[in-house]
Amino acid sequence: MNRLNEKERDYIIQLVKKGKSLNYISKITGLGKSTLYYHYKKTFGKKYKDLKIEDDDDLFIGELVGLFVGDGYAFFDRKSYSYSIRFYFNNTEKEYVKELVKLFVKNFNKSPMVYRTKNVLIIKYLSKKLFNFLLNYVGWGVSINKAGQNKKSRTVFLKDREYSDRFKIGFLRGFVDSDGYISSKKIVLASASEIIMKQTESFFVDLNFKYFKLSFYPDKRSNRKGMWHIYNT
């Protein structure tokens, strides 16, 4: 069985979504139909279905957005016409990832792809619907590093809209789980984006948290940005 890399799998999945036959996909990719059928069944089962989004559960939506702001990634590949959403976790967080997958399946009615790259666990969906849904809440500007990469982490922000208290609670939960640290004495949130940290600070105020502080810690290295922290006092 031929092993496909991630980009090849994404391309094939998008062709299937468009209703292309295995004969057609085999012809343009040069892959055997047995290989294609194996990956088709592994990814879709008998029938492909897109995920469902129930947008009336503000607590879950807030948590989803908080996770995405902290360690999420959205990318549209023009060549394969695929909309990819990924959430990244340390390999030591296996149990948390299992619980998060259960939460996603419950709310999306669709299982994500879960795989490991080196010491990173990745939860991944290919979904235009989820891609556009997240971009209704989250934006980021252009911040190019020395490698020529656009760093979402430096400029990410929540879009201007009314957020309920349940959304704010969910957002803080997701943000802490992805970009936070909890010990017996302290809770710390960290981000390179000043905008998102000031928005997060306003959520703490709105929810009547009293003992916390927002601080900036510069990085002495010339090629690094400083970090904003929110922590309890």
Please report whether residue 156 resides in a domain. Answer: yes
pLDDT of amino acid 203:
96
Buried b (16+ CB within 10 A) or exposed e, 126-139: bbeebbebbeebbe
The pLDDT profile of the chain, 233 residues, written as one tens digit per residue, is: 567 778 887 888 788 776 676 778 888 888 887 777 777 666 665 555 678 898 889 999 999 999 999 999 988 877 767 788 999 999 999 999 999 999 999 999 998 999 988 899 999 998 989 999 999 999 886 544 444 444 555 788 999 999 999 999 999 999 999 988 887 788 899 998 999 999 999 999 999 988 889 999 887 776 667 889 998 87
| Whether residues 32 and 83 fall in one domain | no
* Residue 27 C-beta-side C-alpha neighbours within 13 Å: 5
pLDDT of amino acid 151:
53
Please report whether residue 222 resides in a domain. Answer: yes
Please report whether residue 16 resides in a domain. Answer: yes
pLDDT of amino acid 107:
94
Please report whether residue 131 resides in a domain. Answer: yes
| Whether residues 108 and 191 fall in one domain | yes
| Whether residues 201 and 89 fall in one domain | yes
In the chain, the largest separation of any two C-alpha atoms, in whole Å, equals 63
| Whether residues 71 and 39 fall in one domain | no
Number of domains, the chain: 2
| Whether residues 76 and 22 fall in one domain | no
| Whether residues 158 and 218 fall in one domain | yes
CATH of the domain at 84: 3.10.28.10
| Whether residues 131 and 227 fall in one domain | yes
**Domain assignment of residue 145, given as a range:** 58-232
Please report whether residue 174 resides in a domain. Answer: yes
Q: Is 0.85 surpassed by the pTM of this model?
A: no
Bridge partners, 113 (sequence order): 124
Decide if 124 contacts 113 (C-beta within 8 A): yes
Please report whether residue 63 resides in a domain. Answer: yes
How far is it, in rounded angstroms, from Cα 225 to Cα 117?
26
| Whether residues 28 and 113 fall in one domain | no
pLDDT of amino acid 144:
45
pLDDT of amino acid 177:
92
Please report whether residue 202 resides in a domain. Answer: yes
